[in-house]
Amino acid sequence: MINKNIVAIGGGGFGRSLGELKIEKYITSLVKKERPKICFIPTASGDNDLYKLNFYRAFSKLNCITSHIDFFSRTVNLEQKVLSQDIIYVGGGNTKSMLAVWKAWNLDNILKIGYEKGIIMSGVSAGAICWFEKGITDSFADKLQIIDCLGIVKGIACPHYDEEKEREPFVKEIIKKNKINSCICIEGNCALHIKNDFDYESINFGNKKKCFKILKKNNEFIHDYF
């Protein structure tokens, strides 16, 4: 049986500070190899050079074979690149723009194939919500919005739930108005590890941070913790 894994990070990690690399160590520990191959996809940040540098600094410390994919300079053969990896890590930034670029290059379908083959899919913020059916994003300057994502796993996800003050009221409002039934909320310095599509585990790498599903029952909001 092929084990399938997604590690969706609500905020934090090497993009902010190298620190102890707790969540990065967790992700690499899922691969039973001395030197796992990990590929960074920083599309949502416009292939930001400093972001790429921090990726190499972080995962080189963890004895990984590191590489990345650019879309705003010459782009490698995506199928060959993605399907030869042990881990894919997607960076944060503008989710809507990222998904549009991926679709133009057919990366959305290649990532789905990679997931089914057992390649670990991971990422932070935009790189966390992209795996779900829908995500709550700040890609738009004036307000949060719900957008369609890759649909690899079920549900609607919101990162930075406790880090950005507009997130919680927005989620509760759209549930209250029955625009969505529930939302998977991922706090900063926390990740949701989804195993084989349906097994959810909250991974805290901060100060007692959590992941949970929020829904409304009898006009009250219920927090179902993972």
Closest CA to 205 of 70, 37, 12, 4: 12
**Single-letter residue type at 108:** D
DSSP 8-state code for residue 45 = G
DSSP states of 46-60 = TS-HHHHHHHHHHHH
- Distance in angstroms (rounded) separating the CA atoms of residues 164 and 113: 33
Structure tokens at 100: 């549009």
Separation CA 222–CA 198 (nearest Å)? 20
Q: What is the distance between the alpha carbons of residues 147 and 197, in angstroms, rounded to a whole number?
A: 20
d(CA 40, CA 49): 12
Residue with tokens 């997130």: 167
Q: Which residues are catalytic?
A: 125, 160
